[in-house]
Structure 1
Amino acid sequence: MIKRIILLLALGVCIQSQGQGGLSVFENLIGKTWFAEGAWGDGSKFKQEIEFEFDLGGVLVVSKAKGFTNQEQTSYGPRNHGIRKFDTKSNTIKFWEYDVFGGITEGTVKTDGKDIIYTYAYGESEVTDYWKYVDENTYDFSVGNYANGEWQQVYLKTQFKAKNSSKSNFVFDHQSLVVTNLMKAGDFYKEVFGFEEIPHPENKPGFRWFNMYGNSQLHLIKKDFAPFEKNKSMHLCLAVRDLEGFIERLVSKNIDFYDWPGNKNAVTDRADGVKQIYIQDPEGYWIEINTAKH
């Protein structure tokens, strides 16, 4: 059914332009969550939200979409991941859209001013997603059979709006901890977690910096400060795939671990299936280690 395949696609916008990998006009959609809700021609529900971001220095646009993930339209969640790329040879934007069901769809995009005409094939039919620009936070959205500038048939008509036009794309940078024994605390994080020590940019004394993962860092700062309660609710949290292996590492180093209630050598089973333990560093700061997937 044509409506079903369109819903599986959950496609976003690609915009043909010159500049950032041929995708510079796409900037209007970055940093916003685009939401639409409506009904197909047969009365079934349509609900979708999409986010876009540049990747590989602007060479690609990556999209993530949520939508209905079952035929009954009772389950709503992550549905599609897409890639958009400007092809310099054909001077067009091409896309590859992967859905949660294992499908892949390809297509191209043309533009008419600020309107976006998104075309892809389904069987022997050609389908168009038409994003008609209203303002920087609104697009009229139509899906159907569009040819020679006219709609032959419309399957869906609704509107995409930016839910949060001021959203900032933050990335975790670092965690700072004030310590009294810089050497002991630093050696703990290096030996227990295997963090790579990196130089302070100004080579100042009283600092030890570590790279935790990617570009995320841990900064230890030696200072005299008033003692305070190191409550377990205030903690650094790190996820690991092999929790049992990490526990063996703790045991070999005679480091105690606890579950959330405080039982020694116990593991908490969270309601969502994530397992977690808690340990303390030499300064008394709590650290959660869990099995959450990222």
Structure 2
Amino acid sequence: MFDPFIGKTWSAEGNWGDGSVFKQDITFRYDINNVLVIAEADGHTNQERTTYGPRNHGIRKYDKDSGTIKFWEFDVFGGVTKGTVVAKGKDLIYTYDYGKSVVTDIWEYVDDNTYNLTIGSYDNGEWKQVYLKTQFKAVPKAGFDFKFDHKAIPVKDIGTMGDYYRDVLKLEEIPFPGNNPNRRWFRIAGHTQLHLIREEFKDFERDKSLHLCLSTQNLEDLISHLKEKEVPFYDWKGKEGRISDHRTDGVLQIYLQDPEGYWIEINDAKHN
């Protein structure tokens, strides 16, 4: 029921019944193997409606006990709205308590890139009071919405290399489908993986510019761990035991080489 919403930015403008301005941009995405729908909305972030930015973070999830889809909307003011959403054909109907009132939002399907939205008091198929009427238009994302899946590197010694990434960098080793002794897979984060492949290949010079980059918010702990294991690390210029701090955004970096000479950058960049 949420498929038409995914991978697009939905935008609408209008006025509430009291004349105040409504403006919103929403993106929807699936998460946790499509178990959750995440809705992130930009809107007015102060009561005067003079600033605009991230305003709501919403979650939709099927609840097997009640057989309904429940939703939660967390807003920038610290509030949370909870309710249910059902489909009627291609229309979506949200129902929730707001103060002492029961409010209904109906997303009325027009086409795959257009929904009419009505918010108000709705009972027995009739609008008793309308708070907002507007139309959301969607623009599909440019490109193909790629996600980074994995990096594969050829190796000569699958045992030594695999143990290095498992024991030194503490990556989680995950099973390779088919139990091939010439393959070792590691999870980096989420669905992102590193694949080590033992194959015959033409060797090449390991240049620092060609490297795997990992980020961590525990860079100091990692450096202590490397020192304990007597694993050397360098700054970009090649000075051992030094940290690169030349990036204009303040990100710190170190560089190290695995047992077969592949370069690895580790930095403290923050990612959402």
TM over 0.5: yes
Partner Cα distance (2:106, 2:157) in 1: 62
Is 1:191 paired with 2:189? Answer: no
Cα RMSD after superposing both structures: 3.4
Closer, same or farther: CA 235–142 of 1 in aligned 2, 3 Å: farther
Contact 1:92 1:110 in 2 (8 A): yes
User: CA shift at 1:289, angstroms?
Assistant: 1.7
Q: Does 1:40 align with 2:28?
A: no
Matched, 1:283 2:249: no
Cα distance in 2, alignment partners of residues 132 and 271 from structure 1: 48
TM-score, with length taken from structure 1: 0.72
Structure 2 counterparts to residues 163-182 of structure 1, below 5 A: 163-164=140-141, 172-182=148-158
Find the counterpart in structure 1 of residue 232 from structure 2. Answer: 256
- Select which of 55, 67, 84 maps to 2:42: 67
The partner residue of 2:223 within 223, 232, 247 is 247
Distance in 1 (CA, whole Å) between partners of 2:183 and 2:82 is 51
Kindly tell me the number of residue pairs found equivalent between the two proteins: 264
Shift of 1:258: 3.3
Are the equivalent residues in 1 in contact too, given 2:243–2:253 (CA < 8 A)? no
Per-residue Cα deviation, 1:215-261 (whole angstroms, up to 9, x for no partner): 543222233314145242x3222232321111012223333333456
Match of 1:108 in 2: 84
The answer to whether structure 1 residue 155 and structure 2 residue 170 are counterparts is no
Q: Supply the AA of the counterpart residue of 1:160.
A: K
> Could you tell me which residue of structure 2 aligns to residue 7 of structure 1?
none
Contact 1:257 1:278 in 2 (8 A): yes
Q: For the Cα contact (< 8 Å) 1:138–1:162, is it kept in 2?
A: no
The 5 Å alignment of 1:6-155 reads 25-29=1-5, 31-41=6-16, 42=19, 44-53=21-30, 55=32, 60-68=35-43, 70-71=45-46, 72-77=49-54, 79-86=56-63, 89=66, 92-147=68-123, 148-150=125-127, 152-155=129-132
Instruction: Identify if the C-alpha distance between structure 1 residues 73 and 280 changes in structure 2 by more than 3 Å, giving closer, same or farther.
Output: farther
Contact 1:87–1:94 (Cα < 8 Å) also in 2? no
Deviation, 1:162, is 4.7
Provide closer, same or farther for how the CA distance between residues 259 and 149 of structure 1 changes in structure 2, counting only shifts above 3 A: farther
Return the offset for 1:210: 3.5
Structure 2 CA distance for partners of 1:192 and 1:103, relative to 1, 3 Å: same
Kept after mapping to 1: 8 A contact 2:14/2:22: yes
Distance 1:44 1:196, change over 3 A: closer
SS in 2 for 1:188: helix
Shift of 1:177: 0.7
2:60 corresponds to which letter in structure 1? I
1:274 to 1:252, Cα distance in 2 relative to 1, 3 A: same
Counterpart-to-counterpart distance in 2, 1:161 and 1:104: 26
Equivalent pair of 1:276/1:290 in contact (CA under 8 Å): yes
Determine the C-alpha separation between the residues in 1 that align with 2:103 and 2:215. Answer: 43
Q: Distance in 2 between matches of 1:199 and 1:122?
A: 48
Deviation at 1:131, TM superposition (A): 0.8
Q: What SS is found at the alignment partner of 1:68?
A: strand
How far apart in 2 are the matches of 1:221 and 1:73?
55
| More helix as a share of residues | 1
Q: Tell me, which stretches of 5 or more residues in structure 1 are unaligned?
A: 1-24
Instruction: Give the conservation status (yes or no) of the 8 Å contact 1:32–1:167.
Output: no
**Residue 260 of structure 1 contacts residue 268 of structure 1 at CA under 8 Å; is this kept in 2?**
no
C-alpha separation between the residues in 2 aligned to 1:191 and 1:93? 43
Structure 2 residue ranges without an equivalent (≥5)? none
CA distance in structure 1 between the aligned counterparts of 2:92 and 2:174, rounded to whole angstroms: 47
Give how far 1:196 is off: 4.5
When normalised by structure 2's length, the TM-score is 0.77
* Amino acid aligned to 2:113: N
